[in-house]
Chain A
Amino acid sequence: MKLLHRFNGGIHPPQHKTESTRLPILSAPIPEKLVIPLHQHIGTSAKPLVAAGDAVLKGQMIGKAEGYVSSSVHAPTSGKITAIGYEPAPHPSGLRDLCITLEPDGLDAWIERHPLDYLNMDPSSLRNRLRDAGVVGLGGAVFPSFIKLNPGSGKKIKTLVLNGAECEPYITCDDMLMRERADEIIAGAKIMRFMLHAEEVLIGIEDNKPEAIAAMRAALKEAPFEVIPVPTIYPGGGAKQLIRVLTGIEVPAGERSTDLGVQCFNVATALSVYRAIAHGEPVLSRIVTITGAVNKPRNYEALIGTPIDVLIRLAAPVKDSDGAIMGGPMMGFELPSTCVPLVKATNCIIVKSATLFPPAPQPMPCIRCGKCAESCPADLQPQELYWFSKAGNFGKAQEYALFDCIECGCCSYVCPSHIPLVQFYRYAKSEIWAQEREKKASDLARIRHELRVDRMEREKREKAERLAQKSAQARTQMNSEEET
């Protein structure tokens, strides 16, 4: 039995998980139209490789990773590209983003696949494969996985952590995946361990998922792999929190866990690593929990780009349903419209209704009760951050470690005054980023302006010199003419 560590704070919101775990994962049918955003990961947007009218095969790359921090995008099924343009994206802003629209032909015809024998390959070509297969963190952060699988020269990874904690209420996609496809997850973990040369692999699963724990244990026979049930507490599935619980290591904000000898991946990511390497299949679909105010909550395996309203219809929403949340109730965001595509980050869709999500109680003044600080897993002082963020005193907010906030929302959840605390931090963070962008732009403008002023002065000087020279020449000429 491994000795577990703990982190401060955390909360125990109602789980609402059993609703969607009664039925096995079901493959959602191929929809009439797929809209595939080119920017489904952290980093630069992928560059489109196809044009409207092109016929594509299932698994064909249609967007290529651009720059280092980027990832590729693929056709989830065979069909015809009908448009490349700006479509509504699943983003809290409701703004549009560059997407490729694909009309499936119903054949679902694969492009040629190239399985790799990873044991006889060097990690760098494996990483290229993962990048070209569009493998990103499927826990919701969608950071390109190949980068995290590059420990850097001279760095030693002791522990590889697989995150099957799934701490947020309602979400069950990882739970069901572990129950049904434990073998493939373990196979993926083996590839990851090989790439990182990790000594041990710890698979953390919250103890409210006994079936998943049993399935994973059954799938795994040899050391140094170990399934470790961790206490159920939100946000125990946050990467930093899980690393802390399993290894005792605290990864500070702004530092990479690699530097401390740990790396953490979601279980679904491990599975897509396996599919990409051992079967040559890029990420074309994902498991998504459709739950909340629906009559048939369950997990679906849906193609990337499937319209979310199509998925919601499959689950038969109840009469008074109204809108949907993408992600969990603690960190997810309300979709401005459900006519947006499913992306790699979509782990859960919670259909809302006034009974499930009554409007938030009205905020009252902060009474400094400190409940928020008690619940903060990042050990911050949310009441102070709130004060500074609200007053627009962003410098002070940063001094109080605003950017260490993981936006878990525990503080807002417990606040007896119902103050939208984390909402204020999001606002403050995006203001600070905007200010930094502006600063960069104005610095650039200043430099260009100074260069221009210099250039103009130089030109003026040179002109004057040329003029002076000319007139001097003319004078000497005149003089010599006079002399003659």
Chain B
Amino acid sequence: MSSPHLTQTNSVSEIMLKVLLALVPAIAANVWFFGPAVLVTLSLASVTALVLETVMLKLRGRPVVPFLMDGSALLTAWLLALSIPPMGPWWLIVTGTAFAIVIAKHLYGGLGSNPFNPAMVGYAVLIISFPVQMTQWLAPASIALSHIDFAAQLDYMFFHVLPQGMQLDALTSATPLDTLKTQLHLDKPISAILSLPIYGEVGGKGGEWVAGAYLAGGLYLLQQRIISWHVPAAFIAAICLTAGAFHLFDPAHHASPWLHLAAGATMIGAFFILTDPVTGPTTPKGKLIFAFGAGFLTYLIRVYGSYPDGAAFAVLLMNICVPLIDAYTQPPVFGKKK
């Protein structure tokens, strides 16, 4: 083979590993505020993903070890698991992961060829098919009406049984964004809604800390030059601008940009989901357009759509546009700039 005879040692596995590492603070925050059930969700999703990845690679006649080692299946599993309500039933997790790995990834050609973000496809399928289970979020430990221990949580996840006399409603609550939407429908003013116990300083109680942890992980990825600033910056800017405009225009019915930044999937989206290289544009300008569009759509779907959060759908919609964006944002080559 011809030159170069040197390559750097950096590999896909290393990149994926660093991304997984960057998720650790958010996982820790989740455990702290919502209990260790998150870890079970994560493990279950990981095992499902690895098993299915192996099966699919075998079926497609690809070498198993190097592709398993690339870590992309694990990353998909983690991102999906972190978007599913903690203490979701086991079949929910398995179905979502299976969809992500088998359909969204391998049937489209596997690593590098899938046009849609697998984790978000899994999420979208789940929320459309099982809206009830997908919106029952465990209430942060501090405000839950009652509390069950870890063993009882496992019982619920795997056998769908709760301790005697316990109601699921007592353990869960709608997400802050969901609450906001339903309460606004009841014509409650924003100020009254935001004083509900589920809200914290800027976002949801607990949730705002998780968002902060995603931010920290994202900054690490930026510092490691694994992601470029374009995507998170444009996404956050889009959310701020749209939410800010609506808020200025009609503060009684529109929450401030702060809430939109700290709640829902904004931070994980900005730093971990939209930054997926495979399903995003490659040109710097394209990245800006892509992420800005996703931010705008996220806000619209969040506020006017019928689903609690819009990030997943916004990402998938923008995924469709990627080839077009790439084709129209080719940067000028050396010597041909104006």
CB-based contact B333/A379 at 8 Å: yes
Which residues 84-140 of B sit at the A interface, judged by CB distance below 8 A? 110-113
CB-based contact B15/A416 at 8 Å: yes
CB-based contact A7/B334 at 8 Å: yes
Contacts of A404 in B (CB 8 A): 333-336
Decide yes or no whether A334 CB sits under 8 A from chain B.
yes
CB-based contact A251/B2 at 8 Å: no
CB-based contact A332/B5 at 8 Å: yes
CB-based contact B12/A13 at 8 Å: no
Which residues 1-43 of B sit at the A interface, judged by CB distance below 8 A? 1-12, 14-15
One of A130-138, A142-150, A282-290, A356-364 at the interface: A356-364
Shortest C-beta distance, A384 to chain B (Å), equals 8
Tell me, in angstroms, the Cα distance from A11 to B70 when the chains sit together.
24
Given A253, A331, A333, A416, which contacts B14 in the complex, CB threshold below 8 Å? A416
CB-based contact A253/B335 at 8 Å: yes
Interface size of A by CB at 8 A reads 58
CB-based contact B4/A422 at 8 Å: yes
Tell me, in angstroms, the Cα distance from A415 to B11 when the chains sit together.
8
A164-176 to B contact mask, C-beta < 8 Å, 1/0: 0000010000000
Decide yes or no whether A219 CB sits under 8 A from chain B.
no
Given A7, A251, A360, A370, which contacts B7 in the complex, CB threshold below 8 Å? A360
Decide yes or no whether A329 CB sits under 8 A from chain B.
yes
Given known A-B contacts A367-B277, A416-B11, A373 and B4 have beta carbons under 8 A apart = no
Which residues 412-453 of A sit at the B interface, judged by CB distance below 8 A? 412-418, 420, 422-423, 426
Decide yes or no whether A101 CB sits under 8 A from chain B.
no
Residue of B nearest to A350 (CB): B5
CB-based contact B282/A368 at 8 Å: yes
Tell me, in angstroms, the Cα distance from A244 to B283 when the chains sit together.
23
CB-based contact B333/A373 at 8 Å: no
Shortest C-beta distance, A91 to chain B (Å), equals 12
Contacts of B337 in A (CB 8 A): 250
CB-based contact A401/B5 at 8 Å: no
Tell me, in angstroms, the Cα distance from A13 to B278 when the chains sit together.
27
CB-based contact B280/A368 at 8 Å: yes
Tell me, in angstroms, the Cα distance from A381 to B337 when the chains sit together.
15
Decide yes or no whether B330 CB sits under 8 A from chain A.
yes
CB-based contact B3/A331 at 8 Å: yes
Given known A-B contacts A378-B334, A381-B330, A401-B333, A367 and B12 have beta carbons under 8 A apart = yes
Contacts of A365 in B (CB 8 A): 110-113
Interface residues of B, Cβ cutoff 8 Å to A: 1-12, 14-15, 66-67, 70, 72, 110-113, 228, 277-278, 280, 282-283, 326, 330-337
Add 9 more A-B contacts to A13-B8, A364-B112, A400-B330 (CB < 8 A): A329-B3, A332-B3, A364-B11, A364-B66, A365-B110, A370-B277, A417-B12, A423-B1, A423-B2
Query: Which 4 pairs of residues, A with B, have the shortest CB-CB distance?
Result: A252-B335, A365-B112, A409-B4, A250-B335
16 contacts between A and B (CB under 8 A): A7-B334, A169-B6, A252-B335, A328-B3, A329-B4, A334-B3, A334-B5, A360-B1, A361-B7, A364-B67, A365-B113, A370-B283, A381-B283, A414-B10, A416-B10, A416-B12
Interface residues of A, Cβ cutoff 8 Å to B: 7-8, 11, 13-14, 92, 169, 240, 244, 250-253, 255, 325, 327-334, 352, 357, 360-362, 364-370, 373, 377-381, 383-384, 400-401, 404, 409, 412-418, 420, 422-423, 426
